[in-house]
Structure 1
Amino acid sequence: MCVNCIRNEVDITEGIPKHVTLHFCRNCERYLQPPQFWIKADLESRELLALCLKKLKGLSKVRLVDAGFIWTEPHSRRIKVKLSIQKEVFAATILQQIFEVEYTVSYQQCDECTRVAAQNTWKAMVQVRQKVEHKRTFLYLEQLILKHNAHKDTVNIKERAHAIKMCEFLNAVVPIEIKRTVGFHRHPQRHQQLQVLILGQLCLCTRVGNSIHVVDVNTLNQSDVTSPVFWRTPFSALATAKEQIEYYVLDVEPLGPVKGKHVLADVHVARSADFGRNDTTYFARSHLGGILKAGDIVLGYDMTRSNFNDDNFDALNRNALPDVILVKKTYPARRKKHKQRAWKLAQLAKEEEEMLPRKADQERIEHDYEMFLRDLEEDVELRQTVNIFKNKNILEKRENEMVVDESDMDEEEGEDFPEISLEEMMDDLKLNDGEEDEEDITV
């Protein structure tokens, strides 16, 4: 067949739409680039042409030879593009065809302009509460929000769907109970009896993530209490981290059983406050047999002197309870004030209160943050869930220091305290969600 007959028989533009809709925000003058990005593009610009070509389905099945705009009135809300394409229709026969595509510009507000336009109309608020004296869980939650970019729609939220999405994220990473309130109506929750765990009645909570991790220090039996199970019949903590006291390790006798990172051992300890003053010592069965040795300092609970106002605890057999429950190894001389970490964390932009916190409150906030940083240093699994960034100023300072002053070394420590390796750190970059006009979250 001749060329004209081939063109009459074959249409290589079949499957490519000739009429397409573009979404344009009149307030910020940006075009929607699916699925969620808004880009700035002038009329007849390369950016706008690239956006128009991306909107054409089926264009990947042909070879694009040329593309350009056909002039239209600026206020006509019409954009026309002329395209030249090629495609092999028969053996060794390539057909080239020129056609036009008309784009209709449809007005649609972007998310940012919608928030400004709907100011003070209605709000959806997410309140996260925790009944403890420290805020280390919130600090960890902040890092999870940054890592998963869950804060994208949490500033001046105007849609309830965003609030529900935020609640679903929180429910996936920490055990929480969500109560949705519309006006003054609340949806009641059903409470069922908590299933009996294959653990002792007195357990140690080692971590709170998307479930509550508990361990029986006498047997090393472990269990994860999921959020739905916990909220059927909630139970309260018998003691908090504030009630822990220091013990000096006199001797460690491993007993053999190893479950994960836990090693069962009998530990001979004495209260640090009593060490050298009296001969009172205690034997504690602990899960820390793999990391403790004589001379270490460990935090724990004194079960003999503590007065717990709890009916469940009063019902236990006191003779079967240990005198001491050890929790974690600590490093009293781990860091002097002039020493700085070679890493840092990103933080969410928060509105400061009008009244400055009291000195005692400020000290408590700084203490909680320091404790959270130490938790990250000591727990490899915990820091794998957050983004840790290099502190370039400290790293460069360390590289420039050719001579180490031995007087700066901690003489009180028999070993180095845990540190985070460079392989676990990310480069010190500004984080953004991919949009040009979004404010960066600085580190």
Structure 2
Amino acid sequence: MSDLAASGMFQLLQTVGGVLCCICGVSMPPNPTNMCVRCLRSRVDITEGLPRHASLVYCPECRSYLQPPRTWIRADLESKELLTFCLRRLKPLTRHVRIINAEFVWTEPHSKRIMLRLRVQREALSGAILEQSHLIEFTQHDNLCESCSRFQANPDQWIAVVQLRQHVSHHRTFLHLEQLILRHGAAARTLRIKEADQGVDFFFGNRSHAIKFVDFISSSVPVQSRLDKQLVSHDPKSNTYNYKHTFSVEICPICREDLICLPPKVANTLGNLGPLVLCIKVSNSIVLLDPFTLRSAYLDAKQYWGSPFKALLSSRQLVEYIILDVEMESSEISVGGLKYTLAYAQVARVSDFGKNDNIFTVRTHLGHLLNPGCYALGYDLYGANINDFEVDKYRCLDLPHAILVKKSYEEKRQKRRGKGRSWKLKSLNMEIDNAKGRMGKEKRANDYEEFLRDLEENPELRFNMSLYHNNDYQPSEMASTVGGDELPSVPLDELIAELAINDEEENNCGSMAD
């Protein structure tokens, strides 16, 4: 037998002894209680003492829940924020059990009920560990929070207002800021948003929310701000003062594509840049480019407001040119994330065709984009009447006939006019000022169309923005290529599918839940 064991032909099998349950007599592995799991659960309830019902105070206006005593927490249905909030409310009652898992049970949104299923563990008799499921029903009680209650009583009962202004002739900066605000949810705490003359007013129910919003604007564009406050009421017994705070925020009047004549002091500070420069980008700083040498410089808000200046010509004064010939001068370089190439170009104004033979030879930074026969937008310094004190300070300044700014696709857009776009943008819930009538609506529509074109032509502008699929768009059979050049558009991989649930899908979801 020992020889067989040594050869490994037989193996000793170790068996575990079993015991009978002291209640029902079922054979089972031994445990400290000598009871099977079924009998143990029938006699021991580890969820004893845990609540089965709880209540939540909910503000339907701002979708916030009350965390006693006075804190309001914003959370959507079946979100991780709401799950964390519910577990924190149960923490003092569940300290004797261990929560293994927690999940929501689907309920009708209008039922004012939130069902939460917990999986808990607890020590039972003689050290045995039991695991059990426990269902808790939360009842929502609607009650307006302090700020929403104040606003419902009187919409003018705001605590702080941010008056955002920019003294320019268009709204392209505000349209860009609107998308950044929507992307980051910076205006989530606003009570009301109202359009004003050359700007927008944001009303808040708390001063700290307005300060946070001003900080966001300051990190997005160069601004200067000022804080004023007005005493509303005063309680001498409790020494309590109530103020209304006004934040006056002025955005730098320099916009992208503006032509600037730098003051001599600023030009010397930037290493004798320019003096004629183009603004190619505006973020928390201004990026300036010399189109004749490709030298660049950055100006932050402190530097600009220390020596402020205005634009010599703005994008509203761009003139369309046709490119007759292009001769490259240098290789391609990158400035501020954008690529440029120096070149000499022979151009003529489109408006001169059939009237005169004026042809100009200009130096441009768009050599990598321009080809003979294409169109470009630029500033006509040959026929412009310029009255600027900064230009007069340069006695020997020789102004060029034209400065090209960007390639033009107007001819191709006219062929696509009325076909719409495959993408769209969201907008803020803003009160529009209709006092200007028809002219104001047309101006607003033109500014919005120019902003959409800028997004198509410049991928850098689309960074940090949310573009959505347009479900109403129907693509045409005609291609968007005319003359061998493709019309700029937004790639499909940059678009976000907007969530939309129709009645049929809601019925399917309801049947699946049943």
Taking structure 1 as the reference length, what is the TM-score of the superposition? 0.72
- Which residue number in structure 1 is paired with residue 185 of structure 2? 149
- Which residue number in structure 2 is paired with residue 12 of structure 1? none
Task: Give distance in 1, aligned partners of 2:317 and 2:467.
Answer: 30
Distance 1:211 1:60, change over 3 A: farther
Q: Which amino acid aligns with 1:56?
A: K
- Which residue number in structure 2 is paired with residue 247 of structure 1? 321
- Which residue number in structure 2 is paired with residue 196 of structure 1? 269
Structure 2 counterpart of 1:420, from 490, 494, 504:
490
Q: Which amino acid aligns with 1:424?
A: E
Distance 1:292 1:54, change over 3 A: farther
Task: Give distance in 1, aligned partners of 2:84 and 2:488.
Answer: 54
Choose 166-175 or 149-158, whichever is displaced more: 149-158
Structure 1 counterpart of 2:440, from 342, 361, 383:
361
Distance 1:210 1:22, change over 3 A: farther
- Which residue number in structure 1 is paired with residue 91 of structure 2? 56
Task: Give distance in 1, aligned partners of 2:288 and 2:351.
Answer: 29
Task: Give distance in 1, aligned partners of 2:101 and 2:164.
Answer: 56
Structure having the higher strand fraction is 2
Structure 2 counterpart of 1:392, from 440, 457, 471:
471
Any stretches of 5+ residues in structure 1 without a counterpart? 4-17, 42-46, 67-81, 99-106, 432-443
1:315-361 deviation line (CA, Å, top 9, x unaligned):
22455432211111111223243321111111112223454722x33
Task: Give distance in 1, aligned partners of 2:60 and 2:307.
Answer: 51
Structure 2 counterpart of 1:321, from 399, 402, 414:
399
- Which residue number in structure 1 is paired with residue 214 of structure 2? 167
Question: Shift in Å at residue 109 of structure 1?
Answer: 6.1
SS of structure 2 residue aligned to 1:242: helix
Q: Which amino acid aligns with 2:419?
A: K
- Which residue number in structure 2 is paired with residue 435 of structure 1? none
The answer on whether the counterparts of 1:207 and 1:214 sit within 8 Å (CA) in structure 2 is yes
* 1:352 corresponds to 2:425: no
Task: Give distance in 2, aligned partners of 1:120 and 1:331.
Answer: 46
Q: Percent identity?
A: 33
The answer on whether the counterparts of 1:65 and 1:85 sit within 8 Å (CA) in structure 2 is no
- Which residue number in structure 2 is paired with residue 37 of structure 1? 74
Distance 1:63 1:267, change over 3 A: same
The answer on whether the counterparts of 1:345 and 1:389 sit within 8 Å (CA) in structure 2 is yes
Task: Give distance in 1, aligned partners of 2:366 and 2:462.
Answer: 20
Q: Size of the alignment, in residue pairs?
A: 381
Taking structure 2 as the reference length, what is the TM-score of the superposition? 0.63
- Which residue number in structure 2 is paired with residue 178 of structure 1? 225
- Select the structure of larger CA radius of gyration: 2
Task: Give distance in 2, aligned partners of 1:140 and 1:65.
Answer: 44
- Which residue number in structure 1 is paired with residue 330 of structure 2? 256
- Which residue number in structure 1 is paired with residue 17 of structure 2? none
The answer on whether the counterparts of 2:97 and 2:122 sit within 8 Å (CA) in structure 1 is no
Any stretches of 5+ residues in structure 2 without a counterpart? 1-31, 34-50, 103-117, 133-141, 193-203, 232-244, 250-264, 502-514
- Which residue number in structure 2 is paired with residue 373 of structure 1? 452
1:257-292 deviation line (CA, Å, top 9, x unaligned):
422111111111111122343332112111111111
SS of structure 1 residue aligned to 2:367: coil
Task: Give distance in 2, aligned partners of 1:265 and 1:65.
Answer: 66
Distance 1:370 1:63, change over 3 A: closer
Q: Which has the higher contact order (CA 8 A, sep 6+)?
A: 1
Matches within 5 A, 1:260-271: 260=334, 261-271=339-349
* 1:311 corresponds to 2:389: yes
Task: Give distance in 2, aligned partners of 1:329 and 1:318.
Answer: 30
The answer on whether the counterparts of 1:333 and 1:410 sit within 8 Å (CA) in structure 2 is no
